[in-house]
């Protein structure tokens, strides 16, 4: 595969009414296998962002490196994402991603999970403009890489993100993806579109909206309300409705995706427990199941035999 993976010419700009559609990363769900299968079966997405690559115990997790391996992402429009607490960690992660052959990196400044926040990563960065400024310097030093940022309104208060905007605006970014919640909210409460509008006015980079999108009508409303948006990013909404940006019938799309996921899990994982863990994750957000009884049967299956019985409806 070309070492220029990550250059914009690589991507198929499917676009939705002239805007871009992005698939957000979710740890444990949107791994390389899932991204490929969704792209092949459903598509309609311009870029898939990887679950963040992290630094642990003096090195990058091997699991993360496998996920961003070029061969595992061949011909799928992928953007590696990293999460870091300071310039030193950020530089090491960038080195690893670049050495893997990528020229496109997204910095996560929006993860709200306490373990990352307390370590100063994700939303934990938003109250440290000096660290963000140092990361901006590191981006400028790497002129052969295209960077983007994913962030929230702040960890505890919107003033945190507003205070960062001069630094964000000075970064060499292709875009800023903004989830209009505070980190302390995690995924509770409503997204704040009024606050998003204020941030949109302050940001000099192209902006992508992320958060609580589950229907095409919501996408249309966002593009109508914020006509300068570059695009929207969906995570749980696309996990629930992977067919959203295709004309495929929902059950048919899920059936085909599941068949490919099942085959991949059986080929690459060992034992019922590993295989079932991956397949249960496939169903966790699914919106195609007609009743709770069916869902419970799938999620409680403790063997592949029981699982096969629970998903027999797919072949009817």
Examine the fold and report which residue of 210, 240, 270 is the final residue of a domain before the chain moves on.
240
146 Cβ neighbours under 8 A, 6+ residues apart: 6, 7, 8, 103, 104, 105, 174
Residues 263 and 222 in one domain: no
Residues 107 and 212 in one domain: yes
Q: What is the pLDDT of residues 174-192, one digit of tens each?
A: 999 999 999 899 999 899 9
Lay out the sheet containing 20-23: strands in order across: 78-79, 47-49, 20-23, 231-234, 207-210, 173-182, 146-154, 104-109, 81-82
Q: What is the pLDDT of residues 245-304, one digit of tens each?
A: 999 999 999 999 999 999 999 999 999 999 999 999 999 999 988 688 999 999 999 999
**Can you tell me whether residue 152 is helix, strand or coil?**
strand
Q: State the DSSP code for 103.
A: -
The pLDDT-based confidence of 14 (bands split at 50, 70, 90) is: low
Q: In this structure, is residue 160 part of a structural domain? A: yes
Residues 119 and 21 in one domain: yes
Of 107, 166, 173, the residue nearest 146 (C-alpha): 173
- The CA angle 195-201-204, to the nearest 5 degrees, is 125
CA torsion sign, 152 to 156 to 162 to 165? negative
Residues 260 and 282 in one domain: yes
Asked whether 33 and 261 are in contact (CB, 8 A), the reply is yes
Residues 224 and 276 in one domain: no
How many alpha carbons fall within 13 Å on the CB side of residue 114? 0
Given the structure tokens 């709770």, which residue do they identify?
292
Q: In this structure, is residue 2 part of a structural domain? A: no
Q: How many domains does the chain have?
A: 2
Residues 70 and 143 in one domain: yes
Asked whether 178 and 196 are in contact (CB, 8 A), the reply is yes
Which residues span the domain enclosing 48?
A: 8-240
pTM of the model: 0.93
Residues 309 and 219 in one domain: no
Examine the fold and report which residue of 221, 240, 259 is the final residue of a domain before the chain moves on.
240
Whether the pLDDT of residue 32 is over 50: the answer is yes
**Can you tell me whether residue 262 is helix, strand or coil?**
helix
Of 316, 268, 261, the residue nearest 286 (C-alpha): 261
Residues 23 and 161 in one domain: yes
Q: What is the pLDDT of residues 219-239, one digit of tens each?
A: 999 999 999 999 999 999 999
165: domain CATH number is 3.20.20.70
Examine the fold and report which residue of 194, 215, 240 is the final residue of a domain before the chain moves on.
240
């Amino acid at each position: 595969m070309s070492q220029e993976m990550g250059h914009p010419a690589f991507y198929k700009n499917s676009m939705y009414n002239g805007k871009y559609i992005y698939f957000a990363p979710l740890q444990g769900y949107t791994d390389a296998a899932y991204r490929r299968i969704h792209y092949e079966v459903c598509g309609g997405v311009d870029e898939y962002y990887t679950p963040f690559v992290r630094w642990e115990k003096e090195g990058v997790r091997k699991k993360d490196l496998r996920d961003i391996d070029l061969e595992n992402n061949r011909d799928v429009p992928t953007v590696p994402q990293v999460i870091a607490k300071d310039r030193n960690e950020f530089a090491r992660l960038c080195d690893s991603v670049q050495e893997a052959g990528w020229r496109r990196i997204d910095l996560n400044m929006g993860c709200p999970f306490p373990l990352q926040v307390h370590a100063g990563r994700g939303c934990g960065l938003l109250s440290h403009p000096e660290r963000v400024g140092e990361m901006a310097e590191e981006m400028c030093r790497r002129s052969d890489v295209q960077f983007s940022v994913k962030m929230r309104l702040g960890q505890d208060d919107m003033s945190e993100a507003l205070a960062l905007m001069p630094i964000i605006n000075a970064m060499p970014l292709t875009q800023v993806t903004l989830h209009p919640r505070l980190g302390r909210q995690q995924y509770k409460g409503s997204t704040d579109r009024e606050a998003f509008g204020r941030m949109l006015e302050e940001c000099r980079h192209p902006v992508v909206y992320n958060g609580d999108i589950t229907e095409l009508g919501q996408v249309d409303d966002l593009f109508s309300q914020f006509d300068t948006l570059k695009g929207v990013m969906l995570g749980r909404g696309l996990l629930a409705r992977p067919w959203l940006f295709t004309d495929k019938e929902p059950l048919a799309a899920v059936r085909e995706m599941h068949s490919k996921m099942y085959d991949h899990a059986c080929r690459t994982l060992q034992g019922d427990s590993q295989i079932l863990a991956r397949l249960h994750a496939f169903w966790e957000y699914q919106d195609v199941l007609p009743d709770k009884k069916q869902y419970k049967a799938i999620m409680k299956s403790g063997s592949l035999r029981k699982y096969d019985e629970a998903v027999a409806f797919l072949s009817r």
